[in-house]
């Protein structure tokens, strides 16, 4: 990456994907500032070389203090609530934290003439697409408030760029998984709702069984199919997106996925192989709002950003997650 004059601000740098981003930036010799309100993130996940400010992006005064003290050149914005089910039960929380929080953040960036931002979007912006794999030009029709707020953030960035010249890259992640090779950080949500960590909690004896939410979907074995992508590969894509903006390229949206779909049953089977544990599974009712299949076409990121995921098998991704789940630090 080219020489930077300022620091990188990672908003939400104590969360799962944000903390892996901070590690990658520091490995690349960058000066990193982290903001997080620690509502879902972990202080222990923040790299010791990052300068940490605890506070909320909805608090303009707090943002002012950070931006006055630090010389920020780029912003990478992860801070968001991201549970689909919770978003259907408490949509207002999602609109406030995800959308209003981003509005306040953008107001502060405009004021401080910070004009490059990379931010987390989601496959949830598409809803239930009619074709697979999903390309970025396909219709966006979110089926829950979480996806709606991510899509609204993308539109907000579009209009803010027109008015204030802030260029952005929006990265639509599919199913993030895995953990840092060091074993120092990994996926640690509370409550945990994601498939791979739950399966590995069964393998490590913390949970009795994994529940398979429905086996009557229109897929190869009747269980939902998802595109799993390693969190360190996501961090790499953000590095590439920063380089892309640095070179003066226009704002853009990219899917980030491996391009291969695995069913819930396949994930459990691979986890059994990797962990050498039996992993009891029971079939339950469908979970509300789960699309049958979500698989990314990520050729655009490969061609334009020059991104290519290093973890290309589910075995490697689950092995990396297992290393963390056997011995989580937090």
Instruction: Mark whether 53 is an active-site residue.
Output: no
Q: Cβ closer to ligand UFG: 13 or 147?
A: 147
Q: Does position 198 bind ligand UFG by CB under 6 A?
A: yes
Q: Which helix (H) or strand (E) holds 246?
A: helix 231-246
| Separation of alpha carbons 162 and 179, rounded Å | 37
Residue that has been written with the tokens 């709606």 in this structure: 148
From 16, 146, 173, 244, the catalytic residue: 146
The DSSP annotation for 119-132 comes to EEEEGGGT-S-SSS
β-strand pairing of 225-226 with 262-263: antiparallel
Minimum separation from the CB atom of position 265 to ligand UFG (A): 9
Q: Is 161 exposed, middle or buried (0-12, 13-18, 19+ CB in 10 A)?
A: middle
Q: Nearest approach, Cβ of 322 to ligand UFG (angstroms)?
A: 16
Give the three-state DSSP class for 228. Answer: strand
Which of these segments, 57-65, 99-107, 178-186, 204-212, binds ligand UFG (CB under 6 A)?
Answer: 204-212
Q: Taking CB under 6 A as the rule, does residue 201 contact ligand UFG?
A: no
> Quick check: 201 and 327 in contact, CB under 8 A?
no
Under a CB-based contact definition with an 8 Å cutoff, are residues 47 and 76 in contact?
no
How many residues belong to the site for ligand UFG (CB under 6 A)?
A: 21
Q: How far apart are CA 238 and CA 57, in angstroms?
A: 20
Encoding tokens for residue 205? 């004896």
Residue of 224, 237, 241, 305 interacting with ligand UFG (CB under 6 A): 224
Nearer to ligand UFG, 8 or 253 (CB): 253
List the x/- string, 269-298, binding to ligand UFG by CB under 6 A. ------------------x--x---x----
Give the span between the Cα atoms of 228 and 300, in whole angstroms: 17
Q: Does 245 bind ligand UFG (CB under 6 A)?
A: no
Q: 19, 149, 175, 319: which one contacts ligand UFG (CB under 6 A)?
A: 175
Q: Is 262 in the site for ligand UFG (CB under 6 A)?
A: no
Between 166 and 224, CB nearer to ligand UFG? 224
List Cβ neighbours of 32 (8 Å cut-off, separation of 6 or more). Answer: 7, 8, 10, 13, 22, 25, 26, 47, 49, 50, 51
Stretch that binds ligand UFG, among 110-118, 132-140, 188-196, 232-240 (CB under 6 A): 188-196
Q: Is 36:79 a contact under the CB 8 Å cutoff? A: yes
Question: Strand 72-77 to strand 293-294: parallel, antiparallel, or no bridges (unpaired)?
Answer: unpaired
41 torsion bin: left (phi>0), alpha (psi -120 to 50), beta (else): beta
Q: State which residue, 53 or 213, has the beta carbon closest to ligand UFG.
A: 213
CA dist., res. 212 & res. 224, Å (int): 9
Binding residues among 107-126 for ligand UFG as defined by CB under 6 A: 122-124
199 neighbors 148 (Cβ within 8 angstroms): no
Among 50, 200, 202, 264, binds ligand UFG (CB under 6 A): 264
Q: Check binding of 234 to ligand UFG (CB under 6 A).
A: no
> Which residue is nearest to ligand UFG, using beta carbons?
224
97 makes contact with ligand UFG (CB under 6 A): no
215 touches 221 (CB < 8 A): yes
- Identified binder of ligand UFG from the candidate list 194, 207, 272, 302, rule CB under 6 A: 194
What's the min distance (Å) between Cβ of 271 and ligand UFG?
A: 12
Which positions from 30 through 89 interact with ligand UFG, judged by CB under 6 A?
Answer: 82, 84
Applying CB under 6 A, the residues found at the interface with ligand UFG are 82, 84, 122-124, 146, 175, 193-195, 198, 210-213, 224, 226, 264, 287, 290, 294
The catalytic residue positions are 146
């Amino acid at each position: 990456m080219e020489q930077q004059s300022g620091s990188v601000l990672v908003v939400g740098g104590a969360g799962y994907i944000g903390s892996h981003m901070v590690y990658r930036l520091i490995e690349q010799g960058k000066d990193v500032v982290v903001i997080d309100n620690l509502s879902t993130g972990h202080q222990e996940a923040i790299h010791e070389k990052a300068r940490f400010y605890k506070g909320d992006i909805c608090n303009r005064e707090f943002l002012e203090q950070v931006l006055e003290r630090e010389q920020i050149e780029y912003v990478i914005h992860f801070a968001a609530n991201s549970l689909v089910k919770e978003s259907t039960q408490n949509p207002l929380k999602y609109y406030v934290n995800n959308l209003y929080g981003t509005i306040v953040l953008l107001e502060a960036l405009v004021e401080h003439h910070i004009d490059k931002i990379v931010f987390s979007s989601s496959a949830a912006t598409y809803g239930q697409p009619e074709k697979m794999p999903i390309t970025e030009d396909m219709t966006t029709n979110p089926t829950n408030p979480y996806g709606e707020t991510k899509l609204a953030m993308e539109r907000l960035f579009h209009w803010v760029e027109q008015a204030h010249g802030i260029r952005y890259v929006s990265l639509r992640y599919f199913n993030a998984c895995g953990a840092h090779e060091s074993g120092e950080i990994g996926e640690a949500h509370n409550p945990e709702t994601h498939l791979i960590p739950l399966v590995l909690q069964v393998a490590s004896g913390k949970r009795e069984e994994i529940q398979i939410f429905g086996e009557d979907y229109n897929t190869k074995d009747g269980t939902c199919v998802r595109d799993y992508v390693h969190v360190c590969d996501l961090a790499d894509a953000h590095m590439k997106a920063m380089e892309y903006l640095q070179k003066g390229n226009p704002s853009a949206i990219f899917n980030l996925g491996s391009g291969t779909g695995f069913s819930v049953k396949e994930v459990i089977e691979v986890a059994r192989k990797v962990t050498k544990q039996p992993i009891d599974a029971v079939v339950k009712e469908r979970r509300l709002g789960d699309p049958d299949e979500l698989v990314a076409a990520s050729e655009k990121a490969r061609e334009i950003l020059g991104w290519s995921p290093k973890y290309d098998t589910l075995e490697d991704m689950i092995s990396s997650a297992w290393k963390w789940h056997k011995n989580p630090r937090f």
